[in-house]
Structures are given as structure tokens and as C-alpha cells.
Amino acid sequence: MAIGYHSVLATVTEDISLENGTHYLLARNGRGKTTLLKTLAGLLRQKSGHYSTHGHCQFIGDEFYFDRELKSKAIFKALIPGPHREGALQLANQLELDTNKEFGKLSFGNRKKVGLVVAEFRILKDSPNLLFYDEPFTGLDTPARQAISDHWLSTSEGTLRIVSCHPDFDTMAMPSALLISDNEISQEGDGSLTWADFKQRLS
């Protein structure tokens, strides 16, 4: 499969099959991370070849737009099914998100938290789920990143996440990663690797 817009950005040269869990998407700027995520989510057409996904897909971009006057609690009520709202509020509390504050008055990082909570609690319980995250950690502090990572680990059954990110520290665990380098997309990881093992391989 090849991805791109007017021209090809990157190509999968060997078959890749991903299991449930979190897979980080790593590449330098402009190499096709967002393009790959949008293609897998069905928002862009691949340039050539074929791929398949199975389950309920969500693409979560790097910015979120809601009515500026809506409070986060109201956004959750509108978009998250009733049985899941209590869990959403619990995660919001862990993230130190003020759900009674208007969306337009939230910082960039806190607006990101709103989108993350909405996506996580729109997961279908009786169906496979695929979440494609584009730079979800931008604007989040270390405790918030850890809370999100812990949530992903505890909800990996039945859910596959591909997470585009630029890690801040070498010891960040990356048991599985998709790499875009030299215009090729590959899957790496043996369950024990970190960002330090990958960053020198990106070009």
C-alpha cells in the first residue's frame, strides 16, 4: 500500500498485521504520519495497494473544535453514551480537567483532554475498536500523559490504538511502533523497546 496526496509519501513494502494494544507511529515532520492515520481511518484514499480494518474506527486529530460556550460536562453528555459518562468524568478528574469550565476558556492542553475523553468513552463495548490518534500528547504535562497511558493499558482488550507522537524522553516505553523512514512504513518492536531505540533510525 502507498499513501500520499498528489504524490506518494510512503509505501508499505512488507505485510503488517497489528494486534490489540497501543502502537506508536514515529516519523520526522512531513513524512506522512497524519496521512497514514487518515488513510487507515478511511478519510483519505490510498495511492495504491490495499489494506483492511475490522471494527469501529475513530480518527482523533491534533485539534478539537466545540462550541466555545459549552462546558466539558455538557460536551460529554451530548457525545458520550449514558452508561459511559461516569467513567468519562472519572478520567477527566484524573486529568485535572475542570468539566464546569467553558470550552473556549480552556487551555490548549485541556481542550486536548476533552477530545481524548470523548474518544475513549465512545468506544463500543461489544465490538472491535480502532483509534487513530494524531499527536494526542501535545500540550499535556507528564502526569496527564501517564494517566492516559495507564488508561490505554487497562483498556487494551478489544481496542487497537495507533498513536502519532514526538516523545520527550528517551525512556518512554514503545513495545510496538510503526516507523516511517526513507519513504517506507514498517512495524518494529519486541515488547521491551523505548524511544531511544528508535529515534536514530528515522530519516
Taking only the tens place, the pLDDT of each residue in 93-105 is 999 999 999 999 9
- At residue 13, the pLDDT reads 87
Residue 26 within any structural domain of the chain: yes
- At residue 64, the pLDDT reads 81
Taking only the tens place, the pLDDT of each residue in 6-60 is 899 999 989 999 999 999 999 999 999 999 999 999 999 999 999 999 999 999 9
- At residue 65, the pLDDT reads 85
Residue 170 within any structural domain of the chain: yes
- At residue 45, the pLDDT reads 95
Total domains in the chain come to 1
Helix (H) or strand (E) holding 147: helix 142-154
Whole domain around residue 191: which residue ranges? 2-66+126-201
Q: Please identify which residue in the block is written with the cell numbers 512488507.
A: 14
- At residue 196, the pLDDT reads 87
Residue 167 within any structural domain of the chain: yes
- At residue 202, the pLDDT reads 84
Binning pLDDT at 50, 70 and 90, where does residue 126 land?
confident
Residue 44 within any structural domain of the chain: yes
- At residue 86, the pLDDT reads 95
Assess whether pLDDT exceeds 90 at residue 169: no
- At residue 37, the pLDDT reads 97
- At residue 198, the pLDDT reads 85
Give me the mean pLDDT over the 147-169 stretch.
91
Residue 48 within any structural domain of the chain: yes
Residue 107 within any structural domain of the chain: no
Please state, rounded to an integer, the average pLDDT across all residues of the chain.
Answer: 92
**CA neighbours within 13 Å on the CB side: how many for 31?**
19
Query: What CATH number should be reported for the domain holding residue 135?
Result: 3.40.50.300
- At residue 12, the pLDDT reads 95
Residue 35 within any structural domain of the chain: yes
Assess whether pLDDT exceeds 80 at residue 203: no
Give me the mean pLDDT over the 161-167 stretch.
92
Taking only the tens place, the pLDDT of each residue in 62-73 is 888 888 999 999
Residue 97 within any structural domain of the chain: no
